[in-house]
Amino acid sequence: MSSNKSVPETPSSSLQNTSPDYVGLVRFLIEPFLESPERLSIHCERSNAGERVWIRLAFEGADKGRVFGRGGRNIQAIRAVIQAVALAAGQSAHLDIYDSSGGTSHRESSSGSQSSERRPPSTRPSPPKPAPKFRTE
């Protein structure tokens, strides 16, 4: 395996003191899905202690399907990357997604909790079970 000599090695303790560039990371992860990346708006807010980070982003509503992906796979992967980076820095990150028109928010928490809509239980009864068969000798 080859090693990259151009990247200086840093002790892990110095990584704890620096905060990741969440805006750059989110821009890198989201822009490939957008038809008009110049319309992407990202705002990052850190708490006083620096332990919690809120990332708010907005983009065109037409790009929503590509960003979220089938079954939310894309946004789950993006959330997992943000969560891993935040965890490595000793932080928790929360991702809020808005329409560029200032509309609805789709709260995606990168600290592990997911807000998902649940379907109501089915009201259709299950089919009857077949009667047991007995052997006669």
Within 8 A by CB and 6+ apart from 43, the residues are 55, 56, 57
State how far the Cα of 95 lies from the Cα of 26, in Å rounded to an integer. Answer: 10
Kind of pairing between the strands at 105-109 and 41-46? unpaired
Q: What is the pLDDT of residues 9-51, one digit of tens each?
A: 544 444 455 789 999 999 999 999 999 899 999 999 998 787 8
Per-domain residue ranges of the chain: 16-109
pLDDT in tens, 79-129: 999 999 999 999 999 999 987 765 555 554 444 434 444 555 566 677 777
Alpha-carbon span 19 to 51, nearest angstrom: 10
pLDDT digits (tens, 9 = 90+) for 43-77: 999 987 878 999 999 998 889 999 999 999 999 99
Which of 34, 87, 90, 88 is CA-nearest to residue 57?
34
As a CATH number, domain 16-109 is: 3.30.300.20
